[in-house]
Each structure stands twice: as C-alpha cells, then as structure tokens.
Amino acid sequence: MRLGEPARMQAAINITPLVDVVLVLLIIFMVMAPQMRKGPDVNLPNTTKPNSQGDERGRILVSIDEAGGLWINDQPVAAEHFDETLRAAVGAETNPKIVIRGDAKLNFREVREVMIAIEQEGFRGVGLIAKRAGAEGK
Amino acid sequence: MQFNSNDSGSTLQSEINITPLVDVVLVLLIIFMVVVPLLIEGYDVDIPRASADTLPQVAESQLILSIGSAACPILSPPTGEGIPKDCQVTLADQKIPVAELPARVASILGGRPAEQRALFLAVDDRLNYEGVLRIIDLAKSGVEDLKIEFVATN
C-alpha cells in the first residue's frame, strides 16, 4: 500500500458491503421461512388447485391437529378458551384474515365446529388451507 | 485506467471475482422473497351465520350442492389423487356422479356475472375433511371465481 494508490482504487464500485447486506438478507429469509409455518405439524389435505392465501400480514392461523386439538398461531388452545384467544389474536389487526389448517384425517364436523366458533367472532369468510398435490411442505 | 495498468491491473486480478457470487445470491434472495408469502394456499369459503335467528331466504337462483355420507362415502382420507368414483353428490336436487360436477356447475353458473357465481354447500358432518376440500376443488375447477359458502346442515 503506497500513499496515492487508494485514490485510484475508488474508481471501481465497492461491492463488498452490498454482498454483506444481500447475504444477511438471504440468511434472514432462510431462517424465517420455516418459522412462518406456525403451529403444530398438520398433514394438510392434498388438492389440485388451491389458491394463494395472500401474504402473512393480518393472517391468523387456526390449526386443527389430527386429534382435534386447536391451535391459534403457534399456541395450543383449549376449546373452551378458543373465543377469547381468537379475539386476543385478532387484537388490533386492521385487516385480519383467518385461515384454518385442518388435518386431512379430520371429519368435516370438527372443521365446521371451528368455523362456527370463528363466525361467532364476526368473521364470515375463512381460508381452508390445502397443499398442492405433489408439493412439499406441511 | 490505462495509465497504471501494470501496477493495479495485476493486483485486481489476484482478487476473487465475486460478481457471479453476487448474481447467484441475488437470485436466491429473490426466489425466497417470492416463495415465502406464497407458502400458504387454500380455499376461501364463507361460513353460515349461525347466530342469526332466522334462516336466510333460499332464493331460486341459489345453487346448492349437498354431499351426503351415504351417497358419497368418503369417511377416511382418499388415497391417491382425486375423489373416489363411487361418490355421488346432489346438485340442485339432482343426483350426479362427482366427476360430472365441474361440467354441471359450469353450465349452471357459467352464464352468470362473476359476483353471482356462488355455490352453497351442505356437507355431511361425517365426511372426511380432505374429501370435502377435494370436492370444493373440483367444483371450483368448472368456473372461475366461484364463491363457496357453507350452509348449515340439518
């Protein structure tokens, strides 16, 4: 390193910080991706053409596991506390959207009972989550 | 930069060329950013207003699809893809094999404006959830923008 040398090197764009930032972003996304699947392991029903359920802003995940146990986001919830827990989860969301992750082995009755409980909190529409046939993921 | 090519040119060559690395990493980043919000897929459905005192008036134009457990015995998760052949559903009081569902729904609702394309579902409680979702999937494949609404089963 002679004096005077660095001034000429400045002519090229220094991309090292760019690489740093991009790598960190990449790592953040790679770490976040599995955590976005909140809640229990649910064996989702296989269908051919499910529609995208929007992004995760305002999304509240209600899971029903194989045994019929209820989960709101990543917390198990007893059936008798479902209403108030859901209300708390909705909280101050401006545009809440409730999606149900039901296990493929469930009877329709168990899903319908949850839908009715959700309706009583004032939600008319829900999303029923499915897995595109052949796709990976839970 | 020609004037000092001897000196700094050879110095630059000794560094790793990170441009391809940046390319690959950026593409990976974009893939992740695009895929993550799409991870969840499903069906939008409406729930009947159970808290209402009076049942809503059933209009002539409402198309009701009933799935009974006797005619369509999907009581455990269907194996493979699709719906078992022996499943029969009742669409607008007509019993039809489930395979005909997309065509029938399309012929009844296809001519209507998009906001009136609604299918009302009466589903037997004992049916398997995956089977129900597959029938919804099949019904939706007939018409675009089909709205699905569950009605209370009696």
pLDDT higher than threshold 80 for residue B100: yes
What is the pLDDT confidence band of residue B105, given thresholds at 50, 70 and 90? confident
pLDDT higher than threshold 60 for residue B11: no
Q: What is the mean pLDDT of residues B110-130?
A: 85
Q: What is the mean pLDDT of residues A109-137?
A: 82
Measured CA angle at B106 (ends A129, B82), to 5 deg: 45
Say whether both B71 and B123 belong to one domain. Answer: yes
Say whether both B54 and B93 belong to one domain. Answer: yes
Residue B154 vs residue B80, higher pLDDT: B80
Calculate the alpha carbon distances from B30 to A25, A26, A40 in Å: 10, 9, 28
Say whether both B32 and B60 belong to one domain. Answer: no
Looking at chain B, which residue has its C-alpha nearest residue A115? B47
**Best to test chain B binding among A24, A47, A99 (most B CBs inside 10 Å):** A47
Say whether both B107 and B142 belong to one domain. Answer: yes
Give the whole-angstrom CA distance, residue B92 versus residue A127.
25
Say whether both B80 and B146 belong to one domain. Answer: yes
What is the pLDDT confidence band of residue B8, given thresholds at 50, 70 and 90? very low
Based on the structure, what is the number of domains in chain B? 2
Say whether both B71 and B119 belong to one domain. Answer: yes
Q: In this structure, are residues B50 and B56 in contact, taking their beta carbons and an 8 Å threshold? A: no
CATH of the domain at B124: 3.30.420.270
Fill in the DSSP letter of residue A110.
H
Question: Tokens in use for A4?
Answer: 């005077």
Select the residue of B18, B35, B129 nearest A15 (Cβ to Cβ): B18
Size of interface A-B (CB pairs under 8 A): 158
pLDDT higher than threshold 50 for residue B1: no
Say whether both B76 and B21 belong to one domain. Answer: no
For residue B93, the surrounding DSSP H or E stretch is none
pLDDT higher than threshold 70 for residue B9: no
Question: Tokens in use for B124?
Answer: 């037997």
On chain B, the residues whose CB falls within 8 A of the CB of A48 are 81, 137, 141
pLDDT higher than threshold 70 for residue A137: no
Say whether both B29 and B81 belong to one domain. Answer: no
Residue B124's contacts (CB-CB under 8 Å, 6 or more residues apart) are A108, B67, B68, B69, B72, B153
What is the pLDDT confidence band of residue A46, given thresholds at 50, 70 and 90? confident
Mean pLDDT of chain A: 80
What is the pLDDT confidence band of residue B73, given thresholds at 50, 70 and 90? confident
What is the pLDDT confidence band of residue A41, given thresholds at 50, 70 and 90? confident
Summarised one tens digit per residue, pLDDT across range B78-88 is: 777 778 888 88
Residue B39 vs residue A83, higher pLDDT: A83
What is the pLDDT confidence band of residue A60, given thresholds at 50, 70 and 90? confident
Say whether both B52 and B88 belong to one domain. Answer: yes
B55 CA: distance to closest CA in chain A (Å): 15
B36 CA: distance to closest CA in chain A (Å): 6
Give the whole-angstrom CA distance, residue A116 versus residue B121.
15
State whether B41 and A116 contact (CB < 8 Å).
no
Burial of B154 (0-12, 13-18, 19+ CB in 10 A): exposed
User: Which pLDDT score, from 0 to 100, does residue A49 have?
Assistant: 83
State whether B29 and A116 contact (CB < 8 Å).
no
Mean pLDDT of chain B: 77
Q: What is the ipTM of this complex?
A: 0.70
Say whether both B33 and B55 belong to one domain. Answer: no
Say whether both B115 and B78 belong to one domain. Answer: yes
Summarised one tens digit per residue, pLDDT across range A74-113 is: 888 898 888 888 888 888 788 888 889 899 888 888 888 8
Say whether both B11 and B56 belong to one domain. Answer: no
Full domain range(s) for residue B89: 45-150
State whether A50 and B43 contact (CB < 8 Å).
yes
State whether B37 and A55 contact (CB < 8 Å).
yes
